Amino acid sequence: MENFSSLALKIENGQIYLLDQQLLPHKEEWINCTKCEDMIFAIKHLKVRGAPLIGIAAAFLLEKLKEQGVSEKELEESAKKLRQSRPTAVNLMNAIDRVMKDGISAYDLAQEDIDLCLRMGKHGAELIEDGDNIVTHCNTGGLATVGRGTALGVIQTAWEQGKKLHVYVDETRPLLQGGRLTTWELQKLGIPYTLICDNMAATLMKEGKVQKVFVGADRIALNGDFANKIGTYGLSILCQYHNVPFYTVAPFTTIDKECLKGEDIEIEQRDPKEVQGVNGSFGQIQWSPDSNVYNPAFDVSPAKNLTGIVFDFGVLSKQQLLNDEIKSFL
């Protein structure tokens, strides 16, 4: 396998390395994934995460297995297990299908993702005005893709165009992808930001301190409903109430052609321990007793709460989404 490198995934001397996102921001350690089980473990534990990135990481693992000359049966079984490692992010299934059924290489998917991110960045940046304060949720940057990201890629592009902007970063309980990862990326990019707890966006909006919200997506139904990190639905309602433009940003690989509406999206349920405490490079803390826990990893926002979706092929407005126009771009 040829060498390749992005912020959180690299191929070196035929080996696949993932930046261990569970340990960020305090430790930057790379994990070597030599077999399918390593990749599945990394995906399940969010050592590698973000819908586009897990798809491409799984594709590289399949590429490695092919290069090792494993049997067709073993390849099929590995693809099946990888597919099941996280159920909501459809980019994972799409990337595996494109490798297995269409014979596309992981390198082509990676290059495509870089290009898609650049295109989303260009379309989305046009929506950002000088002086905007933007709320974002979870992590949607170079740690979640192999390119510059989706929502965060839009913000980065607008910043590079010289627009003065400031980002409010939702910390994103329970796994703190905002507090640990988006802060880490924005710091590296030199983009001004303020970290907030998830329950603070409402007050900021009431005070008129938020001009726009940009988030990512893990699966988009044909009617424009979309799943994203838990907490996104709440933000979408806050935006409606306070009349703040609300956009999701995603490549075409996040559209599920089989899924007609949000209710059909399977939502991943995760370990109660993630809500009962925290776990990171600092160790493990549990603050609650062994309580009952509800821990869905994602929620679904209806298309009617969106101002629009920023795709690589352009921005679709709420009206276009409600008129079923996604289908004409597939």
Contact 56, 109 (CB under 8 A): yes
Contact call for residues 38 and 48 (beta carbons, < 8 A): no
Rounded CA separation 295/286 (Å): 15
SS3 at position 228: strand
3-state helix vs strand vs coil in the chain, percent to 5: 40, 20, 40
Q: Which residue is nearest to ligand MRU (CB)?
A: 216
- Residues 76-105 touching ligand MRU, rule: CB under 6 A, are 89
Number of shown-chain residues binding ligand MRU (CB under 6 A): 19
Given the rule CB under 6 A, which of 4-12, 43-51, 75-83, 99-107 is the region that contacts ligand MRU? 43-51
Q: Which residues of 293-309 are buried (b: 16+ CB within 10 A; e: fewer)?
A: eebebbbbbbbebbbbb
Write out the E strands in 207-287: 212-215, 219-220, 226-229, 246-249, 277-280, 283-286
50 part of the interface to ligand MRU, by CB under 6 A? yes
* Among 113, 132, 170, 218, the one annotated catalytic: 218
Contact 210, 245 (CB under 8 A): no
Among 6, 150, 253, 320, binds ligand MRU (CB under 6 A): 150
Which member of 49, 64, 98, 219 binds ligand MRU (CB under 6 A)? Answer: 49
Cα→Cα distances 270→38, 93, 138, 237, 261, Å: 19, 19, 16, 24, 23
**Tally of residues, the chain:** 330
From residue 241 to residue 280, the character string flagging contacts with ligand MRU as x (rule: CB under 6 A) and all else as - is ----------------------------------------
Does the active-site annotation cover 290?
Answer: no
Of 6, 136, 145, 157, which lies in the binding site for ligand MRU, with binding defined by CB under 6 A? 145
Candidates 228, 253, 307, 320: give the one binding ligand MRU (CB under 6 A).
Answer: 228
**Window of 142-150, 186-194, 302-310, 314-322 that interacts with ligand MRU by CB under 6 A:** 142-150
DSSP 296-311: BSEEEE-GGG-SEEEE
6 binds ligand MRU (CB under 6 A): no
Residues 190-219 that bind ligand MRU (CB under 6 A): 216-218
- Per CB under 6 A, the list member of 6, 94, 156, 177 interacting with ligand MRU is 177
The two three-digit tokens of residue 103, written as one number: 């014979």
> What is the closest distance, in whole angstroms, from the C-beta atom of residue 187 to ligand MRU in the complex?
18
Question: Which residues are annotated as catalytic?
Answer: 218
What are the residues binding ligand MRU (CB under 6 A)?
A: 46, 49-52, 89, 138, 140, 144-145, 149-150, 177, 216-218, 228-229, 297
